[in-house]
Amino acid sequence: MRELLLEIWTSVRRNKLRTCLTGFSVAWGIFMLAILLGSGNGLKHGVESNFGDYAVNSIDLYGGWTSKPYKGYQKGRHIRMRNSDLEIIAREFPEVEEVAANSWFSGQKATYGKEFTSVWMRGALPKIARIEGRKLSSGRFINDTDVAEYRKVIVIDEPMRRILFKGGDPLGKEVKVGSSVFRIIGVMEGDAQRNSSSCYIPLTTGQLLYAANDPVVDNAIITVQGLETDQALEDFEKRLLRRLSAEHYFDPEDRSAIWIDNNMERYKSFSMVFAGINAFIWIIGLGTLLAGVVGVSNIMLVTVSERTAEFGIRKALGAKPASIIRLILTESVLITAAFGYIGMVLGVAVMELVGLVVGQATPSGRGMGTVFLDPTLDLGVAVSATLVLVVAGLIAGYVPAYRAAQLKTIDALRYNK
């Protein structure tokens, strides 16, 4: 093996400029492939960060306005979902895993001691935290007992803790919101530099205090399972609308009466788009790399031509065609792999630098409407790129190696004369 590497090194030293220029084309091809793949990952991660930990198998339901007259009712009626609708959905639809709901109440003034701030109140059910991917920095979220007993407890956010408690521990303390006093049970993670605050209270408590105990919810959120096809999902939505139409007396075909925001469909659409982008990136990247492979193949053909007499002497001394093929292929793979590795390292370094700059530009982190985030290559892509390099080297060296192996000893010796 040592002798083989020395022979390759001697051949490369003989043609330094040509080898470097050819290697540059390979390095540039893999560099561009790394840049394109990293940029594609950055776009994908940016879009996924906007979903955050939000359950992708979730469906949001909002009350709307009827667009058709139905059984004596005029169009334009406002349909408002109620607690009873949540019970119906959970009881009558086996595809539904979890049911939760939100109601937003008017802004209130929150005070603690001499400090005060404005806050929006949001009544919620316990499963909202898991479905919407809400994280707590301390304490706990609302539970079923809080809802059942109409407890006056509240989960505040980081801006409220910063303003009212100066970053201190608020758990167990009482804060006055409007004319009501709530005990703090948890603090949500988030951007503490925001000036606006939004807090969670039990849905039933909010309905009692701010909606005259009217069991209306602004939106219901459900998670579903077993709906693997678009047709199954569409059939489920139709059955759901039909059942709710019986409760609220609107046309089952009236999609304006209940608005359905399906996160599964949105996530599938994004996945299809990025699958297409990745395919396009690989096509462009591999096309660029192919130009480098052609260059390596050309230099190996020139090398074979220049060393024709040498190969003839090798054959005259008993060298087998396989040894010549191994020599040419090894040289081709080494040139391609060495320069390709340099290009890949530079591409990864550039993407890391871009990721650092983007991360500093969005210090508040994920979930803030980012469209480009963490443009790095994962291990699978790096392995794939390495395999591409090896295959490219083999392809580049195969034709010259085959040509060298087919040389007849007498013809090679005559070539020297």
pLDDT of res. 387? 76
On whether both 48 and 84 belong to a single domain, the answer is no
Residues 211 and 81 in one domain: yes
pLDDT-flagged residues of the chain (< 70): 1-5, 7-9, 11-12, 48, 50-53, 191-195, 359-371, 378-383, 386, 409-417
> What tokens appear for 227 in the block?
């709906």
The per-residue pLDDT for 308 is 73
What distance in Å separates the CA atoms of residue 336 and residue 1, rounded to the nearest whole number?
Answer: 19
Cα angle for residues 265, 270, 276 (degrees, 5° grid)? 130
Q: State the residue for tokens 């009236």.
A: 254
Among 221, 242, 263, residue at a domain's last position: 263
Predicted pLDDT at 309:
74
| Measured CA angle at 312 (ends 414, 297), to 5 deg | 105
Measured on CA atoms in the order 267, 268, 272, 275, is the torsion positive or negative? positive
Residues 350 and 323 occupy one common structural domain: yes
pTM of the complete model? 0.66
| Same domain for 222 and 147 | yes
341 with 247, same domain: the answer is no
Is the same domain home to 87 and 112?
yes
Count how many domains the chain has.
Answer: 2
Q: Within this chain, do residues 281 and 193 fall inside the same structural domain, yes or no?
A: no
Residues 230 and 116 placed together within one structural domain of the fold: yes
Rounded Cα gap, residues 144 and 101, in angstroms: 13
Same domain, 92 and 186: yes
In which domain, by residue range, is 139 found? 58-263
What CA–CA distance (Å, rounded) separates 393 from 372?
34
pLDDT of residue 367: 40
Instruction: Check whether residue 94 and residue 235 sit in a common domain.
Output: yes
Domain end point (choices 240, 263, 286): 263
Between the alpha carbon of residue 34 and those of residues 8, 248, 261, 270, 285, the distances in Å are 28, 55, 36, 22, 8
Q: Are residues 256 and 276 in the same domain?
A: no
How confident is the model at residue 417, as a pLDDT? 44
What's the confidence (pLDDT) of residue 147? Answer: 96
Residues 6 and 79 in one domain: no
CB-neighbour burial class of residue 379 (10 A; exposed 0-12, middle 13-18, buried 19+): exposed
Answer with the one of 263, 297, 332 that is the final residue of a domain: 263
